[in-house]
Amino acid sequence: MWKKHVAAVFLDLDGALLDTGAEIDQIWRQWAQQRGLDFSSFAHRIHSQRIQEILKSVDPQLNADNESHALEAALYDAAGRYSKLRAGARALLDALAGTPWGVVTQASGNVAHARMAQAGLEAPPLLVGAEQVTSGRPDPEPYLMAARYYQVDPRDCLVIESDENGIRAARAAGMTVIALADRLPRHHLQRANVVIGNWHSIILHSQQVGPGQQGIWVEVVV
């Protein structure tokens, strides 16, 4: 058993908290077909990078602002159409009640909130979305922003991720990472501190660490 005490927990949304793979694939595939682009050439990026960064890699000549708005609207309209809450995730969220936690995602805030609402989730106490940072993953900026919000040392933070770039970002921020391995081969998750197969492997215990402050004991059955 792996065990660690942390001050805050940050969760990836797409792929970790929610299974949104089919939803995101469909929107990007349709967009590529409408523009005569090869979806397979950039499909590996759509779950781990922000829209603007993906567009630059696809074709620097694209009108990034126009295409970004079109994709954002399509992703918002499709929010929750195919996605579902990952098994075991709701119990973990219930265990986080009253403790510092948040969602850190490469999706925009609007799309992220829409997806969570469709999955029957309340808005998290903190959400760091694509539009709030200058640099997306694998840059550590999104996770460092989350730590600053709670005024905690990044080294005392736990991240639960399902994406290689997200793991790299969290580790670059100095945080401890638990990786979910059911979507990617384990060799893509080597930078994580712990690799698990599903949410049921994680056990959380809240603990009072000071006046009005809650800490969290995290146990992983591996």
Q: What is the CATH number of the domain that holds 204?
A: 3.40.50.1000
Q: Do 15 and 53 sit in the same domain of this protein? A: no
Exposed (0-12), middle (13-18) or buried (19+): which is 87, by Cβ within 10 Å?
exposed
Using the predicted structure, report yes or no on whether residue 147 has a pLDDT greater than 80.
yes
**What's the 3-state SS for 148-173?**
HHHCCCHHHEEEEECCHHHHHHHHHC
Using the predicted structure, report yes or no on whether residue 175 has a pLDDT greater than 70.
yes
* Residue 18 binned pLDDT confidence (cut-offs 50, 70, 90): very high
pLDDT digits (tens, 9 = 90+) for 72-116: 999 999 998 877 899 999 999 999 988 899 999 999 999 999 999
Q: Do 97 and 15 sit in the same domain of this protein? A: yes
Q: How far apart are CA 132 and CA 87, in angstroms?
A: 29
Q: Do 6 and 25 sit in the same domain of this protein? A: no
User: If you write DSSP's letter for every residue of 85-117 in order, what string do you get?
Assistant: EPTTHHHHHHHTTTS-EEEE-SS-HHHHHHHHH
pLDDT digits (tens, 9 = 90+) for 46-55: 998 999 999 9
Q: Name the strand (E) or helix (H) holding 71.
A: helix 64-78
- Structural domain boundaries enclosing 69: 21-78
Q: Do 110 and 215 sit in the same domain of this protein? A: yes
Q: Do 37 and 89 sit in the same domain of this protein? A: no
* Residue 181 binned pLDDT confidence (cut-offs 50, 70, 90): confident
Using the predicted structure, report yes or no on whether residue 172 has a pLDDT greater than 70.
yes
Q: Do 30 and 110 sit in the same domain of this protein? A: no
> Average pLDDT over the chain, rounded to whole?
92
Q: How many percent of the chain have pLDDT more than 70? A: 94
Which of 56, 78, 100 terminates a domain? The answer is 78
Pairwise pLDDT comparison (185 vs 132), residue with the higher score: 132
Q: Do 123 and 195 sit in the same domain of this protein? A: yes
pLDDT reported for residue 215: 78
Q: Do 127 and 193 sit in the same domain of this protein? A: yes
Q: Do 111 and 192 sit in the same domain of this protein? A: yes
pLDDT reported for residue 171: 98
Q: Do 145 and 55 sit in the same domain of this protein? A: no
Q: Do 198 and 117 sit in the same domain of this protein? A: yes
The answer to pTM > 0.85 is yes
Which of 43, 78, 113 terminates a domain? The answer is 78
pLDDT reported for residue 68: 96
pLDDT reported for residue 208: 61
Total of domains in the chain: 2
Q: Do 111 and 211 sit in the same domain of this protein? A: yes
Which of 43, 62, 78 terminates a domain? The answer is 78
pLDDT digits (tens, 9 = 90+) for 185-214: 677 788 999 999 899 999 998 776 555 566
pLDDT digits (tens, 9 = 90+) for 37-46: 999 999 989 9
